[in-house]
Amino acid sequence: MKTAVIGAGAWGTTLASLLASKGNDVVIWALEKELVDSINNHHENSLYLKDIPLSENLTATNDFSIAVDGTDLLLFAVPSQWMRSTCRLFAQSVSTTTPVITVTKGLEISTGTRMSEIIKEELPDITNIAALSGPNLAPEIALGKPAATVIASADVNFAIQLQEHFQTAYFRPYTSNDIIGLEICGAVKNVIAIAAGICEGLGFGDNTKAALLTRAATEICRLVKRMGGRPETVYGLSGIGDIMATCSSPMSRNHRVGLTVGKGDSYLTALGNSGQVAEGVPTTEAVVKLARNIDVVMPICEEVYAMLFENKPAPESFKTLMSRNRGKEYEWTN
């Protein structure tokens, strides 16, 4: 199966190399010529996966017509706020029969739209669309460390087909037909990873972090349910699994952003000149805007927004969360 991977960040490159290592014909599209040369000549992503060898079968190009020519699967791995413009760039070159999978985790700021929805809007003739999400820190998978993920599609048979395509000895995909729940989980957990990093930056303990993450899962459930997804998705790999990985790992850019903010610096300090995107930053804005518009209560996300965009001191945000009007805050009720 020929696969075109659009986006040569750490995650897109990791999946491209994984598929190429199985003997698939894989080409990855990147904007940067030096990155294309690095992959083609040295089998390394010198910008985003430095010193990690890639499959020698993987090729790269910065010509989008070459990337999608004759492809059997189109994989989008671009930052969430660039998804719409990227789809438009490729719209005239993609066959209407080409299936598409997105591995981008985020929501569009202006609309609150999920990535698979953007693809459908900009490539309306595409019929098979899926999304992949889970506890998937790219460097670990690039090094062949065992991991699992979830592939979701409204057409579960398409998800099963992709499951076979991505399965390796160290990467195990599961399937779901709840693409709404999977994409909401994948987006909001990046916001929660920032909150977890802030918690650590403030020097709080494990009790604080456990309470934060558990209540965050409740917030995600509210949004998933309101958007038409299934709350039980939150308690699987694409929900709790992804939260556990992203909210605790130093490899997580969103966690690093939070750690920096918790220590009193701007989130921009954490990103520095790396050129990498912390999806949780724009997604915080998108999630809070969406939740307000549809009346979903998400106090943790609201406070992350206040810290990032309104310069609210982190200690004040945690004080706000701890002193909220309790109302009827049941741990569990029917």
Residue positions annotated with a catalytic role = 189
Sheet holding 73-76, edge to edge: 59-61, 26-29, 3-6, 73-76, 100-102, 129-133, 147-152, 171-176
DSSP alpha helix (H) spans, the chain:
10-21, 33-42, 64-68, 83-90, 115-122, 138-142, 156-166, 179-201, 206-226, 242-246, 253-262, 267-271, 280-293, 299-309, 314-322
C-alpha 42, offset from chain centre: 27
Whether residue 2 contacts residue 72, with contact meaning beta carbons closer than 8 Å, is answered with: yes
Q: Which of 310, 201, 206, 315 is nearest to 262 (CA)?
A: 201
